[in-house]
């Protein structure tokens, strides 16, 4: 017997779904006999039947995948009209799981199992019991918006192999840290943040000529720079997401000691401070279980800088 799909199931690509208008009642007793023995396209795995305002989702098994069309040998109504929400959302890319799930959950209805969405370009897809994977994105601000979060959103928008993902911003705010650790002077990593805090502020990337009695707000790489410039390690507030945040849940974070590639530890994927979209894509694919073959457990893909 054809089983229930796993949560987040959709057709990839959506040519695996056929949409049919019918006068046949949308019940198991009527649709199954109607389909058995009928030819369907070899890529068709699911059919959406519409009868007036009602919609049903059906799964089929074919005699063969070889010829262009093949007769149906088994069919099952996965969701009757009472279990289907049918939507029209012209802005939704129905080939993208996150976009599809987001649209579905915005119209969630008790008892619904399948959401059929007519989206961009009038393409149609469905998603079964949408349950996005929650991934925490830990980033230092300012600058704002947080760059790592924005880049992760870019990846989610274009990688159609990913399951639905809910990105959750986990922000390390330099302004909050300085307020919690008052000092007369602060040394911040770089001018790029544009941060404004109370007290005298200097920036490590300018290599200040005078070594002040400051508190450094920075990471281990900043400590290395400071030791090289001034020969000592100042009092410090650590901003490294890898060192200061809980990594026991799926997390995407940055570390400036990693110069290229991706590292995996606990439930986290660590990318370089200057990461690119390919590295973030690999991290998200690994965190969601899409790509497990290309990277060994807890081993860097690339090299950490000493």
- Residue 149 and residue 292 in one domain: yes
Confidence at 144, pLDDT banded by 50, 70, 90: confident
- Residue 34 and residue 146 in one domain: no
8, part of any domain:
no
pLDDT at position 14 is 79
282, part of any domain:
yes
- Residue 141 and residue 270 in one domain: yes
- Report the domain count for the chain: 3
- Residue 160 and residue 248 in one domain: yes
pLDDT at position 94 is 96
Could you read off the pLDDT of 186-206 as tens digits, one per residue? 999 988 666 778 888 999 999
- 16-25, 27-36, 138-147, 156-165: segment of lowest average pLDDT: 138-147
- Residue 253 and residue 159 in one domain: yes
Confidence at 302, pLDDT banded by 50, 70, 90: very low
7, part of any domain:
no
- Residue 49 and residue 198 in one domain: no
89, part of any domain:
yes
Task: Look at residues 169, 177, 179 and name the one whose alpha carbon lies nearest to residue 144.
Answer: 169
DSSP for 136-188, written as a single string: EEEEEESSSS-HHHHHHHHHHHH-TTS--EEEEEEEEEHHHHHHHS--SEEEE
Q: The domain containing residue 92 runs over which residues?
A: 14-128
Residue with structure tokens 């601000």?
141
- Residue 40 and residue 109 in one domain: yes
- Residue 82 and residue 193 in one domain: no
- Residue 110 and residue 169 in one domain: no
CB 201 within 8 A of CB 193: no
Strands 69-79 and 39-41 turn out to be: antiparallel
Q: What percent of the chain has pLDDT over 90?
A: 84
- Residue 99 and residue 64 in one domain: yes
4, part of any domain:
no
Q: With a cut of 90, say whether residue 57 has pLDDT above it.
A: yes
- 235, 256, 275 — which closes off a domain? 235
- Residue 116 and residue 220 in one domain: no
- Residue 145 and residue 26 in one domain: no
3, part of any domain:
no
pLDDT at position 194 is 65
Could you read off the pLDDT of 252-299 as tens digits, one per residue? 999 989 999 999 998 999 999 889 999 999 999 999 999 865 554 433
């Amino acid at each position: 017997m054809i089983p229930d799909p796993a949560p987040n199931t959709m057709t990839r690509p959506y040519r695996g779904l056929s949409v049919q208008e019918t006068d046949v009642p949308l019940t198991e007793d009527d649709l199954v006999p109607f389909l058995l023995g009928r030819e369907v396209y070899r890529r068709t795995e699911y059919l959406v039947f519409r009868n007036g305002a009602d919609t049903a989702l059906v799964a089929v098994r074919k005699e063969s995948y070889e010829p262009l069309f093949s007769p149906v040998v088994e069919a099952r109504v996965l969701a009757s009209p009472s279990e289907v929400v049918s939507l029209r959302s012209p802005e939704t890319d129905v080939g993208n799981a996150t976009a599809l799930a987001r649209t579905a959950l915005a119209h969630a209805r008790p008892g619904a199992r399948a959401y059929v969405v007519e989206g961009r370009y009038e393409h149609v897809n469905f998603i079964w019991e949408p349950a996005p994977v929650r991934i925490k994105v830990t980033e230092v601000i300012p600058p704002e918006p947080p760059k790592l979060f924005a880049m992760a959103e870019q990846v989610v928008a274009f990688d159609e192999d990913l399951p639905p993902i809910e990105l959750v911003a986990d922000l390390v705010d330099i302004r909050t840290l300085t307020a919690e650790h008052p000092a007369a002077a602060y040394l911040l990593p770089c001018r790029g943040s544009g941060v404004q805090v109370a007290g005298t502020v200097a920036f490590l990337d300018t290599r200040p000529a005078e070594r002040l009695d400051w508190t450094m707000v920075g990471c281990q790489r900043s400590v290395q720079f400071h030791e090289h410039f001034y020969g000592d390690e100042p009092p410090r507030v650590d901003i490294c997401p890898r060192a200061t945040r809980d990594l026991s849940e799926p997390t995407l974070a940055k570390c400036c000691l990693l110069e290229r590639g991706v590292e995996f530890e606990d439930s986290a994927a660590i990318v370089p401070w200057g990461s690119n979209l390919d590295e973030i894509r690999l991290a998200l694919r690994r965190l969601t279980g899409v790509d497990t073959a290309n990277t060994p457990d807890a081993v860097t893909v690339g090299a950490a800088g000493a």
